[in-house]
């Protein structure tokens, strides 16, 4: 339906994140520029979190004013607060990577590293199954 939240758009951003919820709630009211920005945030949240506002608007083709307006429409005081919340929302996704890095930093043999990686994969798959939401 026109103006509705894009189905499956938050595949890279956890559905439970504050940013996802706010975008889903506000999306139908967005202008084309804000929808373009929102779609990019949902599709590439780590990229958005790692780029400056100027780099992000260059990639998305919207203005700095639109990026700031996007953040304010979501209820944040500005882009910096939005970006900080985006990072908090990505923490559950980043945690397995951090654990694997720690494991690699320890004196582990190849078998232990592969086992740890596979265990993380199993945990991620189980988490995905639990979080399936037919409404989305």
What pLDDT, in 10s, does the model give residues 43-101?
888 889 889 999 999 999 999 999 999 999 999 999 999 999 888 877 666 666 666 67
Is the model's pLDDT at 11 over the cut of 70?
Answer: no
Cα 95 from chain centre:
14
Is the model's pLDDT at 21 over the cut of 80?
Answer: yes
Q: Which domain holds residue 84?
A: 18-130
**Total tally of structural domains belonging to the chain:** 1
Domain of 39, CATH number, reads 1.10.10.10
* pLDDT tens string 37-58: 999 998 888 889 889 999 999 9
Cβ contacts of 129 within 8 Å, gap of 6 or more = none
- 37 within 8 A of 73, measured Cβ to Cβ: no
Q: Is residue 57 in some structural domain?
A: yes
């Amino acid at each position: 339906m026109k103006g509705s939240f894009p189905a499956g758009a938050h595949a890279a951003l956890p559905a439970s994140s504050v940013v996802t919820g706010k975008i889903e709630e506000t999306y139908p009211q967005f202008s084309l520029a804000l929808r373009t920005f929102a779609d990019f945030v949902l599709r590439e949240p780590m990229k958005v979190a790692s780029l400056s506002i100027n780099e992000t608007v260059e990639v998305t083709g919207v203005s700095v004013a639109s990026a700031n307006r996007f953040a304010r429409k979501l209820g944040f005081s500005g882009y910096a607060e939005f970006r900080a919340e985006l990072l908090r929302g990505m923490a559950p996704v980043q945690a397995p990577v951090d654990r694997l890095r720690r494991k690699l930093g320890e004196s582990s043999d190849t078998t232990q590293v592969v086992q740890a990686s596979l265990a993380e994969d199993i945990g991620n798959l189980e988490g995905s199954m639990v979080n399936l939401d037919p409404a989305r």
